[in-house]
Amino acid sequence: MSSLIISGLSKTYISPNTAQRVVFDNFSLEIKHGSIVAVVGANGCGKTTLLNCIAGIMPYEKGNINIDDKNDHNNIGFVFQNYRETLLPWLKNIDNVACTFEQPNFSKSDKHNYIKRWANDHNIILPWEAYPYQCSGGQQQLLALVREFINQPKLLLMDEPFAALDYEKKLVWRQQVETLWEKNPTTVILVSHDIEEAIYLADEVIVFGEQPTRIFGRHKIDIPRPRTPILLQSEIFFQYHRAVLQSFFQATSKI
């Protein structure tokens, strides 16, 4: 089984106005293929920086980030917190998915048909001929998820994708993500500042802290899938929550 291996990563922010900030200094992390890994930690502990480095949209000074033993950053999915802004309002919903859908031999209508069929198979109903701004927030978020999952990315990065939602909606969306992921298995790295969400979705929760970033705890979450919100009331969930929280407090007390 292949995996994501980060070794010896060093990253320093240098800006003319503020003191330089060492985010990563010889940082290493290994993530097993096919699992959902949640990264939690206080603000400024390098969670988003890590995602950006993995995605290949941010340079770093030293280290290696290998996916399946290759330093290849193609076909990495990314769901941003401000998903609304990642949709292109001048394109219809279907074209928003089609424009990042990689199938070199497909014509435009092939792509459209494929997307509609794919959505059908996943019981996803979206107004394909409408524009994103004509859709509800939930539809826009779903669109952003479909856009990533349909490419079957070898790695899917999620940067606080639920941060802007109210609690009730979060519950729905966690399930939606889990369902999509079970049908389209891939490695997911979910950055979150919500411990409950991290435990609920992940196979493993990693707690980040300090500067430069250090790992304060890795907690395997051994709860069978599919998970449902009722889980949040269970004793086992509380136990995991307590354990993760303990690492979290450790991490934050050092800042």
Partner 1 sequence: MRFRILGILIIFLAWEVLSRFVNRLFLPPLSEVMNNLIMLAHTQELYYDIWVTFKRTAIGLSIGTVVGVTVGTLLGSFRTLYQTLRLPMDFVRSIPATALFPLFIVLFGLGDIVKIFVAAWAACLIVIINTLYGFQNISHTRMLIGKLKKFSFGKTVRLIILPSALPYIAAGIRVSLSFALIVELVAEMFLGSQNGLGHRIFAASSVLAMEEVYTGILLIGTLGYVLNSLMLLVERKMIHWSGQG
Write out the residues near partner 1 by the rule CB under 8 A.
55-57, 74, 76, 78, 80, 82, 84-86, 88-91, 99-100, 131, 133-134
Q: How far is the CB of 99 from partner 1 (least distance, A)?
A: 6
Q: Are 190 and 39 in contact (CB under 8 A)?
A: yes
Q: How far is the CB of 52 from partner 1 (least distance, A)?
A: 9
Nearer Cβ to partner 1 (55/215): 55
- Whether cis (ω within 30° of 0) applies to the bond prior to 226 is yes
Nearer Cβ to partner 1 (8/89): 89
Nearer Cβ to partner 1 (125/130): 130
Nearer Cβ to partner 1 (91/232): 91
Q: How far is the CB of 148 from partner 1 (least distance, A)?
A: 10
Q: How far is the CB of 228 from partner 1 (least distance, A)?
A: 32
Query: Residue 190: which of 146, 156, 233, 142 has the closest Cα?
Result: 156
Nearer Cβ to partner 1 (108/225): 108
In this structure, what token pair is assigned to residue 40?
A: 């939690």
Q: Are 209 and 216 in contact (CB under 8 A)?
A: yes
Nearer Cβ to partner 1 (92/214): 92
Q: Are 49 and 24 in contact (CB under 8 A)?
A: yes
Q: How far is the CB of 117 from partner 1 (least distance, A)?
A: 22
CB pairs under 8 A, 24+ apart, for 12-16? Answer: 12/61
DSSP per position, 60-80 = -SEEEEEETTB----SEEEE-
Length of the chain: 255
Q: How far is the CB of 106 from partner 1 (least distance, A)?
A: 15
DSSP per position, 18-48 = S--EEEEEEEEEEEETT-EEEEE--TTSSHH
Nearer Cβ to partner 1 (133/238): 133
In this structure, what token pair is assigned to residue 138?
A: 């939930």
* 37/192 Cα distance (integer angstroms): 10
Q: How far is the CB of 39 from partner 1 (least distance, A)?
A: 19
DSSP per position, 186-232 = -EEEEEES-HHHHHHH-SEEEEEETTTTEEEEEEE----SS--GGGG
